[in-house]
Chain A
């Protein structure tokens, strides 16, 4: 379980807040989507969970323990992270990229190998033809699947995904979204997923948290948000942009 209690973050000594007084929790096995436009504080929130950024105020708990009491390196190794810009290591093969966290954790080589093959097959990139390639030889979609495989490698309880499909073309994005849904049901991870795409949020999230200028506008299931928008911002969001297919 991930729990945020009255978390604030300022980068300029309090003149403005990237995240303000945010409280929310993500249940075990649940997928929570942080939805909002750029600059709303959703990526900052995500990075605070694995201490890439540290909160100015408030408490963040992962598995019932304050993240500030965790060793940041150990904490990050327990949390899978899929980066916005993919962030694969260009000088390592796909195999090495996927194996990196197990390697840092000191797994023996044969279990690493086994895990790598399992994961590449899981994300639809057969190990025999992809393991020895380099990231720049793969398409954007393929690279992002490797990013997902890397995040899952050490079998983390938690998965943080920062607009993982943002830079992909529409067709690839849709394919990957479908694949993520399958994975999600298969793996039962606790996932925090950041996006600015309404359609993606409604498709993937068990619950959705809508952020605006650092404030939480509403948190709830798809039904809650569509039927009883808590603020005018949420209402406008869906009346203007609500896709017909979702009604």
Chain B
């Protein structure tokens, strides 16, 4: 890729980059601030109340060991909300430990001699703390804040999983689309941001140093110091302002927003096909209705999308019948596609006030897939053919597949298969892993474009184990009631996309690295829907 093309690539995404950077800084800044307001008093409390130390530091330490994603999902379940709030809470909890611990350490390390002098000249307890102990501990406390903030920049990339935005959104999208440029578009600014945050808190510390008292009033030095002192606060303020008032040149729909307040929020899970379907629904609704579409794409999985829909955080996303049946409703597998759709439609209406619309047409079920060359050599055509050789094979599954009842556990039961080794993979990396021979078997998605592109062979499900996975728009009934036209518009998709078409669309984006919105636009135009 030439430099010009690279520059153009970045320039084109500059408005969004600005927006995401602002979000990222807001998440990091606000959570670090919140952690300061909690962590410093906690540190002071622990310094005074020795008996609480073991307990509280233990609790804060345990919080730190919870994996970030688990924490996000847990908070999501607790708050019943996606977006910035759970992300901020998670980031605040992570920032607590370095701040509270450094506060405690800093206070403890102040020399006993100086403290005796403070007491001996007649300072009250609180004066000893405020005038001597805390100022002397300040550099250590600030170092803790610095650690918390820099680590926070890193952790904040995960917030995109629950729709909180930030630079992680590029990274997630890049991972979902196997697009390295997009990953870097998130990762490089995040790294730079970490440096900026580190520098600004360093500047703050310099502004806080006792030597400031010697600066001449009104001198350049004293002005610089004041500016340095304000730098982190200024950064956080700018980010908050960017967050709440998206400048006009960023949001194309800003002017439209004034005339119409009807917004529909469309979500997707974090893989290519979902992004395509989400974009398709978005473009159609934008073209055929006067709704403003808010794209909440790339949420981190089924449970997050479903939870958001039920809590009214989003209005619409594409779900698969098999997933709705087994993962959401915890119902045993129904092999008949029609019956499966009827069952989820009825259950969603009764339990979640959500409606299943006409399926798109394709069946994105799991397909146990091997390299075509291996299949030829060993005469593998059906899953049963793997039989006893399975124990010599290495399997690469998505984490979801490895645990779901309609995944590996069920497969073992029905076919009696035992693979020699099972490794967890991101869905996007699985295909490459099998193509390169790092694993021998994967749980491919039947509509993935890479099956054909990488010369892979899906084996026939001869015992009808995998349930049907027909994708269909799932929408909140509340919005359907007020705008029944939405149903008519979305039903234009009914039966429109077969497996081969979906494979092709997926490959356009995954394999050829084309922009999702372009691919979708072309497709809709070709079908004369737009």
Q: A90-B136, A93-B213, A104-B127 are known contacts. Are A83 and B116 too (CB-CB below 8 A)?
A: yes
Query: For residue A91, which residues in chain B have a CB less than 8 angstroms away from its CB?
Result: 132, 135-136, 210
Whether B122 lies near A73 (C-beta < 8 A) is yes
B436 on interface, CB distance cutoff 8 Å: no
Instruction: Identify the closest chain B residue to A80 (Cβ).
Output: B121
Query: For residue B120, which residues in chain A have a CB less than 8 angstroms away from its CB?
Result: 47, 50, 52, 76, 81, 83, 87
Query: For residue B117, which residues in chain A have a CB less than 8 angstroms away from its CB?
Result: 81, 83, 87-89
CB distance from A150 to the nearest CB of B (A): 7
Whether A89 lies near B122 (C-beta < 8 A) is no
Query: For residue A73, which residues in chain B have a CB less than 8 angstroms away from its CB?
Result: 122-124
Cα of A52 to Cα of B121 in the assembled complex, Å: 10
B488 on interface, CB distance cutoff 8 Å: no
B336 on interface, CB distance cutoff 8 Å: no
A196 on interface, CB distance cutoff 8 Å: no
CB distance from B132 to the nearest CB of A (A): 6
Whether A104 lies near B123 (C-beta < 8 A) is yes
**B 113-150 contacts with A by CB, 8 A:** 113-114, 116-124, 127, 132, 135-136
Whether B135 lies near A77 (C-beta < 8 A) is no
A166 on interface, CB distance cutoff 8 Å: no
B528 on interface, CB distance cutoff 8 Å: no
Cα of A73 to Cα of B210 in the assembled complex, Å: 26
B211 on interface, CB distance cutoff 8 Å: yes
Cα of A150 to Cα of B118 in the assembled complex, Å: 12
B525 on interface, CB distance cutoff 8 Å: no
Whether A76 lies near B210 (C-beta < 8 A) is no
CB distance from B74 to the nearest CB of A (A): 42
Q: A85-B113, A90-B114 are known contacts. Are A52 and B136 too (CB-CB below 8 A)?
A: no
Per-residue contact bits, chain A 56-92, to B (CB 8 Å; 1 contact, 0 not): 0000000000000000011111000101010111111
Cα of A11 to Cα of B74 in the assembled complex, Å: 53
Q: Which of A76, A90, A96, A134 contacts B122 (CB 8 A)?
A: A76
Per-residue contact bits, chain B 165-196, to A (CB 8 Å; 1 contact, 0 not): 00000000000000000000000000000000
Cα of A93 to Cα of B135 in the assembled complex, Å: 13
Cα of A222 to Cα of B213 in the assembled complex, Å: 47
B214 on interface, CB distance cutoff 8 Å: yes
Q: A50-B120, A81-B120 are known contacts. Are A87 and B213 too (CB-CB below 8 A)?
A: no
CB distance from A138 to the nearest CB of B (A): 14
CB distance from B222 to the nearest CB of A (A): 13
Query: For residue A134, which residues in chain B have a CB less than 8 angstroms away from its CB?
Result: 210-211, 214
Cα of A77 to Cα of B119 in the assembled complex, Å: 10
CB distance from A120 to the nearest CB of B (A): 16
Cα of A81 to Cα of B213 in the assembled complex, Å: 26
Cα of A169 to Cα of B121 in the assembled complex, Å: 26
Query: For residue B124, which residues in chain A have a CB less than 8 angstroms away from its CB?
Result: 73
Whether B113 lies near A81 (C-beta < 8 A) is no
Query: For residue B114, which residues in chain A have a CB less than 8 angstroms away from its CB?
Result: 87-90
Q: A83-B117, A89-B114 are known contacts. Are A132 and B213 too (CB-CB below 8 A)?
A: yes
Q: Which of B119, B121, B211, B214 contacts A100 (CB 8 A)?
A: B121
Q: A52-B120, A88-B117 known; 10 other A-B pairs, CB under 8 Å? A: A47-B120, A52-B119, A85-B113, A87-B114, A89-B117, A89-B132, A91-B135, A91-B210, A93-B213, A132-B213
What are 19 of the A-B contact pairs (CB < 8 Å)?
A47-B120, A52-B119, A73-B124, A75-B122, A76-B119, A76-B122, A77-B121, A81-B117, A83-B113, A83-B116, A87-B116, A88-B117, A89-B114, A90-B210, A91-B132, A92-B213, A101-B122, A134-B210, A150-B121
Q: Which 6 pairs show the lowest CB-CB distances between chains A and B?
A: A87-B117, A76-B122, A77-B122, A91-B210, A85-B113, A81-B120
